[in-house]
């Protein structure tokens, strides 16, 4: 099994909004977390996969989805963070 963590540093005042947006969008197998002690404004989305092939398959399906027109009345998730990274771990 592997665990994939998407780590975002939210803009000041946006961490809770970004976490809520991810929580609403993510599947049942994902967890959305905010850091209570480290860097301020950190939001982490954690998802488990059977193997790298399963992760790759989900990424390929995501890339095929049509992009919805942005809603000008709502900020997009890319407007809410300043930087991000992906961490992939093998679970022993």
In this prediction, residue 92 has a pLDDT band, given cuts at 50, 70 and 90, of: very high
More confident residue, 52 or 37: 52
Strand order from edge to edge, sheet including 2-10: 30-34, 42-49, 2-10, 81-90
Q: Residue holding tokens 């197998």?
A: 29
Nearest to 26 by CA among 77, 67, 85, 87: 77
Q: Which CATH class is domain 2-66+75-90?
A: alpha beta
Q: Mean pLDDT, the chain, as a whole number?
A: 89
What digits encode the pLDDT tens for the residues 33-49?
998 887 789 999 999 99
């Amino acid at each position: 099994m592997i665990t994939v963590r998407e780590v975002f540093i939210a803009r000041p005042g946006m961490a809770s909004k970004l976490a809520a947006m991810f929580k609403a969008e993510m599947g049942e197998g994902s967890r959305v977390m905010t850091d209570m002690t480290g860097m301020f404004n950190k939001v982490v989305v954690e998802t488990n996969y059977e193997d790298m092939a399963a992760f790759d398959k989900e990424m390929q399906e995501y890339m095929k989805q049509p992009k919805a027109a942005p809603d000008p009345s709502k900020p997009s998730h890319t407007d809410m963070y300043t930087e991000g990274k992906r961490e992939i771990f093998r679970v022993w």
